Amino acid sequence: MLLPLLAVLQVASGPANGSVTPPTNVYQGVLNQLDVTPPRVEAEIVVDGLLQEDVWSSAAVLSGFSQYQPADGLPADDRTEVLVWYSSDAIHFGIRAFEPHGEVNATLADRDNIQNDDHLQLLIDPFDDGRRALVFGVNPLGIQADGMRVERGVQRTSATRSATSPVDLSPDYLFDSRGRLTDYGYEIEIRIPFKSLSFQPQETQDWGINVIRRVQHSGRDQTWTPALQSRASFLAQSGTLESLQGIDRGLVLDLNPVVTTSVSGTPTTVDGTPTDPGWNYDASSPEFGGNVRWGLTSNLTLTGTVNPDFSQIEADAGQTDFNPQRSIFFPEKRPFFLEGSESFQTPNNLIYTRSVVDPVAAVKLTGKISGTEVGFLSAVDDKSLSATGLDSPVFNILRIKRNIGEESTIGIAYTDRVEGSDYNRVIGLDSRIVLGGNYDFQAQGGVTLDRKDGHTDDAYLWDVSLRRSGRRFGFNTNFTAYDDDLALGSGFVRRSGTVRIGGSTSLTFYGEEGALVEQYRPNLNLSYTWLYETFMHGGSVDDAIRFTYANNFVFRGGWRLGASVLIEEFYYPPTLYTDYFVELQTPTGTEYAPYVGTPALQNYLIGLRFSTPSSSRFAGSLSWYGGQDENFNEWASAYISFLTIDATWRPTDQLRIEGRLVSQRGYRPDDWSAERKVDIPRLKVEYQLTRSIFFRFVGQYQATNIDELHDQSRTEAPIYILNDEGALERAVGSTKNDLRFDALFSYEPSPGTVVFAGYGSSVTEDDSFHFDNLRRTSDGFFMKLSYLFRM
């Protein structure tokens, strides 16, 4: 009864100043009035953030929002009106967001950097199949954040992440937006040209539509449709823009020439030792490259690139992992590979475009035809990336995904990396079946053929899971197997040679209206991991057993807290220590015996996670794990501390300061000596002079100190490790203290049209954080100019 009553009250009331008469064609989400017929009007207006033109009085109005997070099924505290109409070449949205309860967060931010502001997301699905949607996000000042949301299965809410925002912000679309603060909240105007979209070829068509509003002062997400967390698919709960007619992309042909130039410097060396003040600079000639985008049809796009570059990208944020058996994943950042990247997504990263390291040229076809999504990528990498230095690695990647039923999909992925007579070929089949609205069954199988030096190995991958998403009760079960010889030449695997069986279950409790605790979710998780060959031969668990009990709280105002207890048992991995030896003193002299570790290590840890709401000036989060964990360097127990702190401070509406600290410690239980210390502080400072101009400075220090190793759990003898020449070397420890600075000036009036000028420098020192003997190891200047010609 409460939701319909609120809808009636919202229709009856106008803006706080009473200056706008409510339109009559209002579609109330809380009343399930989700089939919208927007008017088609041939009108040219100026996108200025003022909804004053006559055409807005005839627009369809989406109103009657509901709360989605932290608790669904409740009326939204704040009124929102989304006006929509379209012409032959664009669709227009006008937004009136009313805010009587608190302060509106709005800053002059860089593109895709509005997550700490109040904002709205328009989720538009031009194919109306509930599988993916283009996301157009705008903050109260009209700053844009755009990307793609793809349904990939149930994603539960953590203590620090909203379930309504699994959006890939990598793609950039050309659209116009302006916004302004008002006495009742804020107002936004958006124009999205059809040239920026792909859609169905029919003359009359329906599009999926939903709207998410983020209210920062309360930490709540509100949606136009009364979406439920218990559903396996969020996009399947969208509304519909019906009977769109006479829309036309016109000629879609984008030319984006790029010119880059750089100067790189390294110290002069004599017999491998840097000299002072000698310094060599290598000024490269201007390099020319560019991208071409051609809309073959309304739903197929062909894109090509020559000599794509990294110049506008800051260095990857430092990462570290206690477990050396796992590889570290770095996200894709290159514009060419990001556009249309949703067409290449697969479970288990069978496709990982950063495998194409330094492409000379590439071509890509993406689109959707009658419920079938197609992505094809072909690229030629630089010869220096081949084993011989003489062959250019060639990549051919195909991804096809077909809709089945109302919410389910089936897909196939094929990748081929050829290098001379060697190749790596992978084929995978995957499916996602949604049952009863809240059960999500997913399965994937894959086979790899890897040929090197005339010998071919085949390997297999399996992944099966069943999840239930419920408002009160949910569970997740999973079986994953990676063959020992699994090699993904065009993909990424964190660790091969394992089999994992696991499951988790959770309950969710909701507080009363106005309660301090708005949501509480306890979670139990248990998993068993085998080595692949052991599992295939029916052996018992020989890699790891993990049990986790976690508690997640959401408090009034957007504060979040998580606390967990972890109990683990890790088994000795002999393959990790084949090059390890211990020095033993015997009656006949010194001997070096192969290292043999303790059969199993028991771990007991606690974890804490905390995040603040995003105020107009500050947002922060902290994650800490501590207790007894494995020391992989010596295969012994250690007392560990793993701390991550993130903070964003905005002293003004134009200045943003982001800090991050990753700190790891591993202490030996017998004498509390530190076997491992890692500290990675990172600072980013951005000043947004105008909407198109900003300055950025990034500084990152990575200090890693590994102590001298010894056989701590058994003999206390020194450890020796075989080097590349096959000789034994004492594991005397290592120190790495690298400091990196990057400065950037950016002028970007629109995606594709940019001027970048930057400087980067790397320095090192002997002692961590002493800053008294810094030595520059490299530096460089770069400039990039590009312009987007849209025909």
> pLDDT tens-digit profile of 160-217?
333 444 788 878 889 999 999 999 999 999 999 999 999 988 899 999 999 999 999 8
**Among 67-81, 324-338, 348-362, 651-665, which is the least confidently predicted range?**
324-338
Torsion of CA 378, 379, 385, 386, to 10 degrees: 50
Give the model's confidence band at 319: pLDDT under 50 very low, under 70 low, under 90 confident, else very high. Answer: low
Contact between residue 225 and residue 212 where contact means Cβ atoms under 8 Å apart: no
Torsion of CA 248, 249, 251, 252, to 10 degrees: -170
Is the per-residue pLDDT at 15 higher than 60? no
If one compares 567 and 6, the residue with the highest pLDDT of the two is: 567
pLDDT number for residue 2: 45
Q: Show me where the domains of the chain are located.
A: 2-245, 340-496
Q: What is the mean pLDDT of residues 511-525?
A: 92
Distances in whole angstroms, Cα of residue 606 to Cα of each of 447, 564, 640, 679, 779: 39, 6, 11, 21, 42
Is the per-residue pLDDT at 126 higher than 90? yes
pLDDT number for residue 325: 73
For the stretch 755-786, pLDDT in tens is 999 999 999 999 999 988 888 888 889 899 99
Long-range contacts of 201-205 (CB under 8 A, 24+ apart): 201/297, 201/298, 201/299, 203/245, 203/246, 204/243, 204/244, 204/245, 205/126, 205/128, 205/244, 205/247
pLDDT number for residue 695: 95
pLDDT number for residue 134: 94
pLDDT number for residue 17: 41
The correct answer on CATH 2.60.40.1190 for the domain covering 2-245 is: yes
DSSP-assigned beta bridge partners for residue 665: 641, 677
pLDDT number for residue 190: 97
Is the per-residue pLDDT at 391 higher than 60? yes
Contact between residue 607 and residue 623 where contact means Cβ atoms under 8 Å apart: yes
pLDDT number for residue 163: 41
What does pTM read for this prediction?
0.84
**Among 86-100, 256-270, 438-452, 633-647, which is the least confidently predicted range?**
256-270
Is the per-residue pLDDT at 315 higher than 70? no
Buried b (16+ CB within 10 A) or exposed e, 641-680: ebbbbbebebeebeebebebebbbbbbbeeeeeebbbbbb
pLDDT number for residue 320: 63
pLDDT number for residue 326: 74
User: How far is residue 668's CA from residue 628's CA, in Å, rounded to a whole number?
Assistant: 10
